[in-house]
């Protein structure tokens, strides 16, 4: 059974850093594209970043240069390193498994999310 479990969220001051993790089970993350999608309080869904099965990486303009997506194949875990955090990065961050190996696909499994709050 496919399962995704995010962790690493919390309260951080503006300009600070956090690393989110998404532990996957039931499949190999190297076989599928994996994404981070966020949702600000009371708002809609916003795509953040994707890593394809081949390792190609894509970012939203709003996080480019500040966030880094990566994966540890041996741990079957996806990461999102977030630096220079801003108040507007406050959101629940979801990891999602794509239906295929490409960024060009929808997410068929999602984690429960981890909350990031950027505030002084």
Partner 1 sequence: DIVMTQSPDSLAVSLGERATINCKSSQSVLYTSNNKNYLTWYQQKPGQPPKLLIYWASTRESGVPDRFSGSGSGTDFTLTISSLQAEDVAVYYCQQYYNTPLTFGQGTKVEIK
Q: Show the binding pattern over residues 41-60: x = contacts partner 1 (CB under 8 A), - = does not.
A: ---xxxx--x-------x-x
Q: What residues between 64 and 93 interact with partner 1 by CB under 8 A?
A: none
Which lies closer to partner 1 via its Cβ, residue 28 or residue 56? 56
Selection from 33, 3, 7, 10 nearest residue 85 by Cα: 10
Which lies closer to partner 1 via its Cβ, residue 112 or residue 119? 112
Signed CA dihedral, 85, 87, 89, 90: sign only: positive
Interacting residue with partner 1 among 111, 114, 116, 118 (CB under 8 A): 111
Strand partners, 34: 51, 97
Q: Is residue 35 a contact point for partner 1 (CB under 8 A)?
A: yes
């Amino acid at each position: 059974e496919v399962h995704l479990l995010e962790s690493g969220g919390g309260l951080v001051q503006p300009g600070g850093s956090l690393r989110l993790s998404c532990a996957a089970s039931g499949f190999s993350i190297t076989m599928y594209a994996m994404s981070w999608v966020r949702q600000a309080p009371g708002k809609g869904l916003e795509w953040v970043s994707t890593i394809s099965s081949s390792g190609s990486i894509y970012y939203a303009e709003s996080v480019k240069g500040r966030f880094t997506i990566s994966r540890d194949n041996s741990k079957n875990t996806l990461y999102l390193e977030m630096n220079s955090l801003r108040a507007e990065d406050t959101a629940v961050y979801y990891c999602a498994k794509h239906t295929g190996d490409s960024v060009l696909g929808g997410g068929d499994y999602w984690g429960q999310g981890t909350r990031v709050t950027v505030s002084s």
